[in-house]
Structure 1
Amino acid sequence: MKKTPHIRQDRVIDDASKKNWVDLYAPEFVQPYLKLSRVDRPIGTWLLLYPCWWSVALAAPDGHWPDWGLFVLFAIGAFVMRGAGCTLNDIADRNFDGKVERTKKRPLPSGQVSLKQAFAWLIFQCLIGLVVLLQFNNFAILLGAASLILVAIYPFAKRFTYWPQVFLGLAFNYGALLGWAAVKGDLGWIAVLLYIAGIAWTLGYDTIYAHQDKEDDILIGVKSTALKFGAATRDWIFGFYSLLLVLVVFVGWSVGLHTGFYVLMAGAAAHLFWQIQKLDIDDGDRCLALFKSNKNFGAIVMFAIIAGKFQILT
């Protein structure tokens, strides 16, 4: 009989799967570093990656597949830079996380790693990200380097504004600009509109996510759109998601995508409105599930853009 790996439940972070592969299979001495990078919770990597892939696919010529080499590079880059951003976030929040039920088991507040070790891990991930960035053209390299300013600001935004999700959106959707630049060598208005669409997406899904922590956020004195919107959250998310859909459809029309794009985007719209319908801001488990479901939305949009490059429906 196959032996089930032993999991130390006292170290499983609350918003991770109770049977995530890090706690199941990773060597114990590596687990804290992987958790600093949220490898046990991969949804963030997908949410960072999809705007990159959307942009690379949009920039491809009509009738052509996207550059799969760029897809791979962006996948690696999204993985390590999301990890670096989360590590920086945990360093910045180390004095808050121990006071919040959902985050008290993170490696820094629980004492599994030291501050010095966390900084070393951050530098290591950034170096891998630099290697990936240097594979792009010169314009994309400069553009990518500028994103570090946004990455550095976000962890501190909730200390001074009720709109930290704006700063998260600016950082998390930067790939919409970078993907276009990596293909085209410039920055067109199509990429800028896609970037704005991505920010609207982040404002929606991260507000849902933030409702898990609203009671703790009030106690420790940090801010979020969940606290700002309160009972009006559903109306705000409807607005953000509507703007997202309008902009994505507009950029698809602007680059001449074919019928398959619009068919699949109808499915993407249905998914977003399903999220709004199912939302219960006082049910943390449901908020987490709806937040994670945005991986499906990102995938639908990606396939819609790729399908739109080919005249498969008449």
Structure 2
Amino acid sequence: MAGDGLSGAIPDAVRRSFVEKLPPAWRPYARLARLDRPIGWWLLLLPCWWSAALAARLAGDLPSLPLFALFLIGAVAMRGAGSTWNDITDRDLDARVARTMGRPLPSGAVSVARAALFLAAQLLVGLLVLLSLNRFAILAGLCAMAPVIVYPFMKRVTNHPQIVLGLAFAWGALMGFAAHLGAIPPAGFALYAGAILWVIGYDTIYALQDIEDDAIVGIGSTARAYGDRVRLFIAAMFAGTLALVGLALVLSGSGPAAWLGLAAFAVHLGWQVAILRREDAAQALRLFRANRDAGLLLFAGLFLDAIAQRF
């Protein structure tokens, strides 16, 4: 791998990404932040937007566009920070896995010290976003750091690290309520639980790419744990997602638009399970990325419902 990080040899990176047009010295840092793989910040952002729209519905308000924008900035920054932290802790493991050995740290494009400084800069951006919210939301956001810090170590001790990833990536399902209402109602906890199961489901699909390499280096994952029953496991996670999000809609008194969004979300998740082939790594990546569209379908319903209740 090229020491300057110009090779971009990350198999799941977006082809012809804007990262390739950045100055050469910047590219390894953009890759540390996964800017060439925007699906990560999308999946972190969507539960934030779901909860912000549902909180507006509960409050009888129109959705707050400035809040959506703040969540977007925060999601990009914190996705980058989480990925940088993950790469620092996993640099030795990444060097032994085909899909990750081209990342900036194992390839030598960035030193650990420089990666740590870059991590601090991204955390500062996330903190500035958080400080623009109310006190309750600030405290709730700071609590999100616990699963983020712990997650990289879980794959070494359990076959279910996706559970901890779910706790981290679904946290936004609480933050919209915290920021808009200054509290988390029962609907928020139901939405958070549903989002956790969604994360476990789609990250199990993602992990299908690495089953053989993970077995060689001793990394645990739900994709390995459930083997030939992995499709059933993913189906169960997605079914639980739909049930819990449906409960959140009931608790928030949501209207037809929200239920239509949930129905579209359900169809998309069902399609993923129906066509999934455990041995097809390329398809696993495509289906994993497709969860952005699934989440946007649900968000569209929640957003339109929040607007409709004002008229």
Give 1:18 shift. Answer: 2.6
Match of 1:161 among 158, 167, 183: 158
Q: Does 1:59 align with 2:55?
A: yes
1:50-71 alpha-carbon deviations (Å, 9 max, x no partner): 0001001000046643111110
Residue 299 of structure 1 pairs with residue 282 of structure 2 = no
Provide Cα deviations, 1:120-161, integer angstroms capped at 9, x if missing partner: 000010011111100011111111111111110001110111
Q: TM-score, normalised by structure 2?
A: 0.95
TM-score for the superposition, normalised by structure 1: 0.94
Q: Distance in 2 between matches of 1:66 and 1:180?
A: 12
Specify the code of the residue in structure 1 equivalent to 2:24: E
Q: Which residue of 2 aligns with 1:255?
A: 252
Report the CA distance between 1:11 and its aligned residue: 2.6
8 Å Cα contact 1:258/1:307 also seen in 2: no
Structure (1/2) with the larger helix percentage = 2
Structure 1: tracts of 5 or more residues without a match = 1-7
Match of 2:33 in 1: 37
Question: Quick check: 1:152 aligned with 2:149?
Answer: yes
The residue matched to 2:105 in structure 1 has which SS? coil
SS at match of 1:211: helix
> Could you tell me which amino acid in structure 2 is paired with residue 236 of structure 1?
F
Identify which of 44, 51, 74 aligns with 1:48. 44
Deviation at 1:207, TM superposition (A): 0.2
Partner secondary structure for residue 253 of structure 2: coil
Pick closer, same or farther for the CA change 1:105–1:306 going to 2, 3 Å. same
Seq. identity, %? 44
What is the CA–CA distance in structure 2 between the aligned matches of 1:12 and 1:28, rounded to whole Å? 14
Contact kept in structure 1, 2:170 and 2:195, CA below 8 Å: yes
Moved more, 13-22 or 29-38: 13-22
SS at match of 1:309: helix
Pairwise CA RMSD: 1.4
Determine whether 1:28 maps to 2:24.
Answer: yes
Partner AA of 1:56 in structure 2 = A
Q: Aligned ranges for residues 200-211 of structure 1 at < 5 Å? A: 200-211=197-208
Q: Equivalent residue for 1:4?
A: none
Letter in 2 for 1:172: F
1:15 equivalent in alignment to 2:7? no
Aligned residues: 304
Q: Which runs of 5+ in 2 are unaligned?
A: none
The separation in 1 between residues aligned to 2:47 and 2:57, in whole angstroms, is 18
2:96 corresponding residue in structure 1: 99
Shift >4 Å, 4+ stretches: none
Equivalent residue in structure 2 for 1:219, among 216, 220, 230: 216
Residue 85 of structure 2 is aligned with which of 80, 84, 88?
88
